[in-house]
Chains A and B, each alone.
Chain A
């Protein structure tokens, strides 16, 4: 049987999640002897190092040349399909390049797009930095959607597929070695908090930039309340300066590449400010308790925020708010996406596999963190829900199986 070649586009600058899913699907196709060729953003090089896939870096400056390049790759490799590793971000990239993505259909092969947040068919607007914007161009709705679960709700809809990362499980002595390296005593606990480069950058948006800058200060305040035996390991592109206030209990590690699993497997709790992070997916698969920090409060002035908080208001949060207002809701700090993601989490067992807490509810953040660190029964209950979630996902088609179904339906439609 001749080997088919599929062209995968993973074009966002900081698209760790989309590249991860692209590689996940590509590996499944490779195992059955199909070729995958990637056009990837130049910034994703580290994710492709050591993978068996031919990949070509694309810089932000490529502009309209992206289309002839795609066309040439398609022609030279006689491709069987084009896969957008995320439909929405591919659309964004092409728009920035001044290319109408509808040209992809001119290639005459099925175009399949990963619909990470199950939003393409809904065409809902997207809330970014508190402002609603059009989510995607109309052409994206013509793309057959591959719906990875998590974070999409598990169901028998066409395109739904499982995307559960391999669980991390460290041998006791390896776990102990990593924790010793962090300077922990056997009785200490450790929280992992991860940031991506898009969370530690500037956006040329005053509200977004303020959200990015002020968040760590409140995080540091919460961390300082957790007691001398709780350590905070942060993996990200740069240290979060306000966390230095907890002294040696704060440890910053630059991105760990293939050693990330060792860090994840060595911690007691993952705290995340990104509800759909791949790290959350991995922690759930590994039955490591997860606490997601999210904010539903929109406030321009202090009295609005205090009214929203009601009896949950505390002097510490009020003081912080004076530096942080106006604030907007977020499920992906600091971008927002609160309203955008809400429908996906509705009746979605994913929401049970990780705990969420309102960011401004100081007492609740501290109490839930403590409970997830120290209460054997609360940890066990969450781990049981994570286990049940993973079992449910296991019954879904693989990414390659759903991909095949979409390919067939596209070919039939053609």
Chain B
């Protein structure tokens, strides 16, 4: 699968304590929408299967709907939207997005209750809107994937969060390893869980979701942290993502992440999977060392 990926805005109406792009640290948008248009034009009819819009919160961009129109005009087969789901609670807006070809909504869901979700996203009332938004777009025939970033706050509620997602018709659940950059630069101590504490809660959540017939993927985990579920890792899926990020074009996002955002350490030297795995976020190993990681095969 080949997709274009566009960071449409730095701004967001959530204030996630672990925001990977640091949206809550921005007061002005740095994105040049003309650059976005040019990127979409340059890559039209070049075999991309989808355009993935993200941010910040892409739906807040004042020209969001016009960008969707342009994507349709240019003939891209599908539009995927990464969102906190808050604006999807407005049924007219949800309809407008569906009418403009958004087929997949990738919605951030960081807990199974308003208290847990909203305390991490800094958006009181956000949880209820997100759930309403998922229900809205599902009723309009769209596919929904949730993305749950694993934090110290939600680790023990992963199964409950997965169950909630299944109960509201989510077909695909993605669990992400927290990348401690952006806002997590400052909140590291409060939000980053130890790798060794994740598995006992993540595995039951995966098993529950699979038992419910859902698709499950994992993102950003060193393979040795989830050795029994390596096949669920996004790196195992053949894909090529070309990304426009704050004026820079990243030709292959997965290669970029493996070569620029992760590091290999002593245990990786004899690991047979280090090429695909890419290693550990350096911000994590800098704090906690390499004791939690080991070679596979």
Contacts and interface: CB of A to CB of B under 8 A. Distances in A.
A251 interface: yes
A27 B147 CA distance: 43
A173 interface: yes
B112 to A, nearest CB: 22
7 contacts: A173-B15, A177-B186, A180-B15, A180-B122, A181-B183, A182-B190, A266-B186
Contacts of B287: 254
A185 to B, nearest CB: 13
Nearest to B16: A177
B27 interface: yes
Contacts of A259: 25, 185
B63 interface: no
Which 7 residue pairs spanning A and B have beta carbons closest together?
Answer: A181-B187, A181-B186, A177-B24, A171-B27, A183-B190, A178-B186, A174-B25
A253 B286 contact: no
A102 to B, nearest CB: 43
Interface in B102-141: 122
Contacts of B186: 177-178, 181-182, 253, 262-263, 266
Interface in A241-288: 248, 251, 253-254, 256, 259, 262-263, 266
B274 interface: no
B50 to A, nearest CB: 32
Given A177-B15, A254-B286, A182 B24 contact: no
A183 B286 contact: no
A353 B122 CA distance: 37
A181 B286 CA distance: 19
Contacts, number: 50
Nearest to B27: A171
B189 interface: yes
Interface of B: 15, 17, 24-27, 122, 183-191, 283, 286-287
A251 B189 contact: yes
Nearest to A177: B24
A181 B27 contact: no
Contacts of B286: 254
A256 to B, nearest CB: 7
A177 B26 CA distance: 11
A259 B17 CA distance: 16
A174 B190 contact: no
Contact of A174 (B27, B122, B187): B27
Given A182-B189, A183-B189, 17 more contacts: A174-B25, A174-B26, A177-B15, A177-B24, A177-B25, A178-B186, A181-B186, A181-B187, A181-B190, A181-B191, A183-B190, A253-B185, A253-B186, A253-B188, A254-B286, A259-B185, A262-B186
A180 B187 contact: yes
Nearest to A263: B186
A31 to B, nearest CB: 21
Contacts of A180: 15, 17, 122, 187
Interface in A175-232: 177-178, 180-183
B194 to A, nearest CB: 16
A256 B27 contact: no
A259 B27 CA distance: 15
A178 B26 CA distance: 12
A144 B115 CA distance: 64
Contacts of A266: 186
B185 A177 contact: no
Nearest to B287: A254
Contacts of B185: 181, 253, 256, 259
B193 to A, nearest CB: 15
A352 B15 CA distance: 39
Contacts of A177: 15, 24-25, 122, 183, 186
A52 to B, nearest CB: 15
A255 to B, nearest CB: 10
A177 B183 CA distance: 8
B249 to A, nearest CB: 17
A191 to B, nearest CB: 15
A182 B187 contact: yes
Nearest to A172: B27
Nearest to B185: A259
A254 B286 CA distance: 9
A119 B287 CA distance: 40
Interface string A58-78: 000000000000000000000
Nearest to B190: A183
Contacts of B283: 254
A251 B17 CA distance: 16
A400 to B, nearest CB: 28
Nearest to B22: A259
B263 to A, nearest CB: 14
A262 B25 contact: yes
B9 to A, nearest CB: 16
A177 B15 CA distance: 7
Given A180-B17, A180-B122, A253-B185, A173 B190 contact: no
Contacts of A248: 189
B24 A173 contact: yes
B24 A174 contact: yes
B282 to A, nearest CB: 10
Contacts of B188: 253
A180 B286 CA distance: 23
Interface in A146-180: 171, 173-174, 177-178, 180
A330 B283 CA distance: 33
Contacts of B26: 174
Contacts of B27: 171, 173-174
Contacts of B183: 177, 181
A261 to B, nearest CB: 10
Contacts of A178: 25, 186
Contacts of A254: 283, 286-287
Contacts of B187: 180-183
